[in-house]
Structure 1
Amino acid sequence: MSYTFDFSFLENSAPRLLEGLGVTLQLAVAANVMGLVLGFLLCLAVMSPWALLRWPAQLFIEFFRCTPALLQIVWFFYCIPMVFDVFIDPIPLGVLALGLNLTAFNAEAYRAGVQAVPREHLDASTALGLKPWQRTLHVVLPQALRNATPVLMTNGIGTLQQSALVAIVAIADLMYVAKTLATEAYRPLETYSVVALIYFAVSLPIARIAHLVERRQDAAMTR
């Protein structure tokens, strides 16, 4: 192997990488907040007894789960301004694309969590005279959120990683900055290796927390 690694050119690039990481975290956090909230609402729509509400929600889920995230991002960035004559700043548009994709996956995680809620709890809340929205808010949501937490956290990590796809539409996230640095210095191996370590360092603690939560839930169920 004749290639010699040289990371010295990255010493002066730390501020640019940190700025790109800040954009990446901004996209990931905002998309996760959006996915957590809309995912539960979409879950309720999918489980609705009304077909006019259930079928569009199911179609939404299948569309975002069965098409590539990269295609969805490109569609949002190029088709929305052209078709609807609506122009949105790049970062909010990136959050929208990533958040709607995550919403579809989180809805399925919530649905599994809702289906795991014991029927006795629902019957008890009905017997206590709770209204449907009270039953959903105080009985279903807390238990569904607890049951779905490991999957939701895993989906959140996936969104952090998928946020790198916005580099293709020139949002200055971590991957876009890395691509720029690699082009400027002609050192793609060093640049992408460092960026991979950054993604790993950010994702690993979340993955470990998700694993611990899952183990605690498994232990609680065996008691």
Structure 2
Amino acid sequence: MNYQFNFHFLNGQFGALWEGLKVTLELSLVANIVGLVAGFALCLLAMSRWFLLRWPAQLFIEFFRCTPALLQIVWFFYCIPMLFNVFIDPIPMGILALGLNLTAFNAEAYRAGVQAVPREHLDASMALGLRPYQQTLYVILPQALRSALPVLMTNGIAILQQSALVAIVAVSDLMYVGKSIATEAYRPLETYSLIALIYFALSLPIAQLVRLVERRQDAAMAR
């Protein structure tokens, strides 16, 4: 291998990379908030006893879980304006596409957590006279969240990585900026290696935190 690495061309480009990184973090953070909140609501709808609530929620989950995230992003950016004459700025549109994708996956994680809530706890909450929404907020949600937390965090890492897909629709995130720099400087190996290291540095601490949470949960269950 005779290739000579040269990173000098990046001088003066760190400002652009920082701006792209801020867009990536904004996309990932807000999409995670959407996914955490809407995912639990979707989970409740998917587990509803009412068919008219349950069926659309299950269809939503299966659609977003069974189609490529790249296709979903492209559809949101190009098809929604054409079909509904609705034009949204690129970053909010990216948040919407990523957030809905994450909502579907988080709903499944929440459902596993809800199903793990002991029946005795639900019976006790009914015996105490808690209303359905109080049972959901004070009994089901805390326990489901605790059980689903490792999966939710893993999904959060996945959406951080999938946020790079918005570069294909010209959202100026970290990946898009890196692609522009690589094209202008004709140094794709160095540029994409640096971008990969940045994503790795962002994801690794969360991955280690997931392992810590899993170990604590395993230790708690072993007692």
Quote the residue 1:113 is aligned against.
Answer: 113
Cα distance in 2 for partners of 1:93, 1:102 equals 14
Structure 1 residue 148 and structure 2 residue 148: aligned? yes
Does 2:37 correspond to 1:37? yes
Instruction: Please name the residue that 1:165 is paired with.
Output: 165
Question: Cα RMSD over matched residues?
Answer: 0.5
How far did residue 11 of structure 1 move?
A: 2.3
Q: Distance in 2 between matches of 1:107 and 1:101?
A: 10
Residue in 2 that maps onto 1:26: 26
Aligned partner letter, 2:116 = A
Unaligned runs of 5+ in 2: none
**How many equivalent residue pairs?**
223
Runs of 4+ off more than 3 Å: none
Q: Which amino acid aligns with 1:78?
A: Y
Partner of 2:201 in structure 1? Answer: 201
Q: Which amino acid aligns with 2:147?
A: N
Which structure 2 residues correspond to residues 1-223 of structure 1 after superposition, within 5 A?
A: 1-223=1-223
CA distance in 2, matches of 1:219, 1:9: 50
Structure 2 CA distance for aligned equivalents of residues 172 and 105 of structure 1: 26
Pairwise CA distance, 1:166: 0.1
- Look up the equivalent residue of 1:2 and give its one-letter code: N
Structure 1's unaligned 5+ residue stretches are: none
Question: Post-superposition shift, 1:2?
Answer: 1.6
Displacement of 1:3 in angstroms is: 1.1
**SS at 1:5's partner residue?**
coil
Distance 2:53 2:92 in 1: 27
Query: Residue 194 of structure 2 aligns to which amino acid in structure 1?
Result: V
Aligned partner of 2:214: which letter? E
Write the letter of the residue equivalent to 1:213: V
Amino acid at match of 1:209: L
Q: Report the 3-state secondary structure (helix = DSSP H, G, I; strand = E; otherwise coil) of the residue aligned with 1:137.
A: helix
Q: What CA deviation, in whole Å up to 9, does each residue of 1:18-70 have, x standing for no partner? A: 11000000000000000000000000001100000001000000000000000
Structure 1: distance between partners of 2:211 and 2:13:
34
Residue type of the partner of 1:104? A
Distance 1:10 1:204 in 2: 24
Aligned-residue sequence identity (percent) comes to 77
The one-character-per-residue Cα deviations of 1:144-177 (angstroms, maximum 9, x if unpaired) are: 0000000000000000000000000000000000
2:84 and 2:150 map into 1 onto residues whose CA distance is 37
Could you tell me how far apart the structure 1 residues matched to 2:4 and 2:132 are? Answer: 66
Aligned-partner residue type, residue 66 of structure 1: C
SS at match of 2:195: helix
- Cα distance in 2, alignment partners of residues 59 and 164 from structure 1: 26
